[in-house]
Amino acid sequence: MAKRLSRRDGAALSPLPGGGRGEQKRVQRGTCIFIHAEATLSKRIIELLGKIVGKDKVSVELIDLIAHSADASHFRHRPEVVVYATTTEEVSGILKMADDERIPVTVWGGGTGVTGAAVPIRGGIVLDLSHMDRILDVRPGDRLVVVQPGVLYADLNRRLAPSGFAFPPDPSSGNAATIGGNVATNAGGMRAGKYGVTKDYVRGLLVVLPGGKVMRTGTRTMKSSSGFNLTQIFVGSEGTLGVITEITLKIAPVPKERCTTLATFKSIVEAGRAVSQIMSSSLVPSALEIVDRHCIEAINRNSDLCLPQVGAIVLAETDGFTGEEALFQMEKIVEACRNNGSLETRWAGSAEEAESLWEARKTTYPVLAHLNNTTYSEDITVPISKLPDILNALQELCVKYDLIIPTVGHVGDGNLHPHFSYDRTNPNQVARVRKAERELYEKAVELGGTLSGEHGIGLAKAPFMSLEHDAMEMETMRRLKQMFDPHNILNPGKLSLEVSHG
């Protein structure tokens, strides 16, 4: 029986019956969690993989194993082999062999996730799809594009730009994040309030199931009312049900005109009230972000920007196909900010100035990483009307547990990213962070919210799934997992899909 895996410094991860590979143990080195397992893949398995994809696409080199041992979270675990697939047929062959041999398979895209979803905690095979990076079909007339999973978000939109279209969900890691990863986590971004998240754009998938069978879901039409929507079962499933090798996406026309404004507030709670008023009106900002004073300080220390040193900032963007359309919306947003105690509003004087503000917002996580030896971003989301409540709760947690919790968020859709920054060598501080974290999740769910708006669950939030999902819902998810993956080879240990045996 495998030892219990530990989450960061505290919350336990349950062992996964079936598919366990050797003895596992947790070792802390600096700011990382290493989960080690005894290597058990034989030379025969390595040779079989070489026959499927070619010897040059199979690696047991230490540099490749280390490179695929961690995403952007604090979790670390080396796989036993890395396989670079380039076709659906190769993926099918790998999954058939892995299922026959009961070898865990963890899919790898860009490695930009922050929850440990791509960390191969059971060892086995990392299936790297980054070389499946072809844009297969672009059809502006049908408003769709067909891509392989390794296509980068930024590359896709560069390809679409001349046609006047785009794939709107825009994660901060877009320069490195793959479309396959976006689908696996149902990624969002700053413009989700107006344009939605990844699931709103996925029309169809080509999926390889454990055992090697291939299934095509969805259509290339704008609508379909034909049977179960199997496509959406795979969106957000974090590689636990099947391996996606082709994605059909809806694309949207790009508005030509944009306005950007910065509004300052004494406190983040006042800023939250302004956001609630904006979103309860008929206004539809294309982006609406909140940045608290701790994040402002960090951005100013690490960039050429001189953001106002206030309690909080609201960054707003409107867009339209005419300047008048974007300007009208922004004037109303500025009015709502002033009605809710805004100290000052500033309009971006040029497209370059506006872009620098949005790029500064996207760098929040990297600059906050310097605050302490451990920093990680949460991803709670609440109904927009409950933003003042959750922001108040955050302030209370800071006082109750004597913590600083820098906070930013895509408040146009109720999504907040509180950042826990602490000294992991201080047991007392770690304990306080763990308690505050759990209470934050509990409060978000109590307000009708969710543990994760766009980052996914992975390892980080797996122990807390039962806070949001009742026993019947969890049982249904586990049965789906068992149906698609009866031998539990795909990304085991994630999403709290383990079957408890007491």
Query: pLDDT tens digit string along 256-302?
Result: 999 999 999 999 999 999 999 999 998 999 999 999 999 999 999 88
Comparing CA positions, the residue from 176, 242, 196 lying closest to residue 484 is 242
- Asked which of 253, 286, 311 is the last residue of a domain, the reply is 253
| Res 4 pLDDT > 90 | no
pLDDT 10s digits, 211-239: 999 999 999 999 999 999 999 999 999 99
Distances (CA, A) of 365 to 79, 129, 207, 380: 27, 26, 33, 16
- pLDDT tens digit sequence for 28-56: 444 444 444 445 689 999 999 999 999 99
Q: How confident is the model at residue 360 (pLDDT cuts 50, 70, 90)?
A: confident
379 close to 187: Cβ distance less than 8 angstroms: no
Mean pLDDT of 84-111: 98
- pLDDT reported for residue 499: 63
**Residue 128: its pLDDT value, please?**
98
Tally: H helices and E strands in the chain: 16, 23
Half-sphere exposure of 73 (CA within 13 A, CB side): 27
Tell me, yes or no, whether 413 and 278 share the same domain: yes
Which pLDDT band holds residue 10 (cuts at 50, 70, 90)? Answer: very low
C-alpha span between 143 and 221 (Å, rounded): 9
Spatial neighbors of 298 by CB under 8 A, at least 6 apart, are 364, 367, 368, 370, 371, 406
Note whether 94 and 217 are same-domain residues: no
Determine how many CB atoms are found less than 10 A away from the CB of residue 59: 21
Residue 123 or 374, more confident? 123
- b or e along 103-116 (b: 16 or more beta carbons within 10 Å of the residue's beta carbon)? bbbbbbbbbbbbbb
Domain match, 283 and 237 both: no
Q: What is the CATH number of the domain that holds 326?
A: 3.40.462.10
Q: Does a structural domain hold residue 185?
A: yes
Co-location of 66 and 149 in the same domain: no
For residue 199, pLDDT over 70 is answered with: yes
Q: What is the pLDDT of residue 261?
A: 96
Answer whether residue 495 is part of any domain: no
pLDDT, residue 19, reads 37
Q: Quick one: 91 exposed, middle or buried, by C-beta within 10 A (0-12, 13-18, 19+)?
A: buried
Q: Which residues have C-beta within 8 Å of that of residue 173, sequence separation ≥ 6?
A: 72, 110, 112
- Is the pLDDT assigned to residue 468 strictly greater than 90? yes
Range of the domain at 423: 257-446
pLDDT of residue 500: 54
Look at the block and give the residue holding tokens 């947790």: 26
Looking at the structure, tell me whether residues 267 and 296 fall in a common domain: yes
Residue 492 is given by DSSP the state T
Residues 269 and 369 in one domain: yes
Domain-ending residue, one of 238, 253, 268: 253
Q: Which three-class secondary structure state does DSSP give residue 475?
A: helix
Whether residue 239 sits in one domain with residue 189 = yes
Among 253, 268, 294, the domain-final residue is 253
| Domain co-membership, 40 together with 152 | no
User: In this structure, is the dihedral angle defined by the CA atoms of residues 198, 199, 200 and 205, taken in order, positive or negative?
Assistant: positive
- The pLDDT, as a whole number, for residue 13 is 33
User: CATH no. for residue 236?
Assistant: 3.30.465.10
pLDDT at 372: 86
Average pLDDT over residues 9-20: 34
Q: What is the pTM of this model?
A: 0.89
The answer as to whether 493 is a domain residue is: no
Q: Do both 349 and 334 map to the same domain?
A: yes
Same domain, 122 and 146: no
In a domain, 451, yes or no: no
Of 131 and 32, which is predicted with more confidence? 131
Please give the tally of structural domains in the chain: 3
Average pLDDT, integer, range 327-354: 94
- Region 192-214: what's the mean pLDDT? 98
Indicate if 404 and 291 belong to the same structural domain. Answer: yes
Whole-number average pLDDT of the chain: 90
CA–CA gap between residue 213 and residue 486 (Å, rounded): 14
> For 19-30, what is each residue's pLDDT tens digit?
344 444 444 444
Of the chain, the percentage scoring pLDDT greater than 90 comes to: 82
The DSSP letter of residue 178 is B
Bridge partner residues of 421 (DSSP)? 375
pLDDT of residue 197: 97
Q: Are 211 and 158 in contact (CB under 8 A)?
A: no
The pLDDT value recorded for residue 34 is: 46
Tokens of 214: 């291939």
453 lies in some domain: no
What is the pLDDT, as a whole number, of residue 356? 86
- Would residue 455 count as lying in a domain? no
Q: How many CB atoms lie within 10 A of CB 212?
A: 17
461 inside domain: no
Is residue 311 domain-shared with residue 357, that is, in the same domain? yes
Query: Torsion angle, CA of 13/18/22/27, rounded to 10 degrees?
Result: -10
Question: Read out DSSP for 223-275?
Answer: ---SS--THHHHTTSTTSS-EEEEEEEE-EEPPSEEEEEEEEESSHHHHHHHH
Q: Which residue has the tokens 């086995």?
A: 124
Q: Which string of b and e fits 443-463 if b means at least 16 CB within 10 Å?
A: bbbebebbbbbbbbbbbbbbb
The CATH number covering residue 52 comes to 3.30.43.10
Is residue 213 situated within a structural domain?
A: yes
How deeply is 182 buried, as exposed, middle or buried, from its count of CB atoms within 10 A (0-12, 13-18, 19+)?
buried
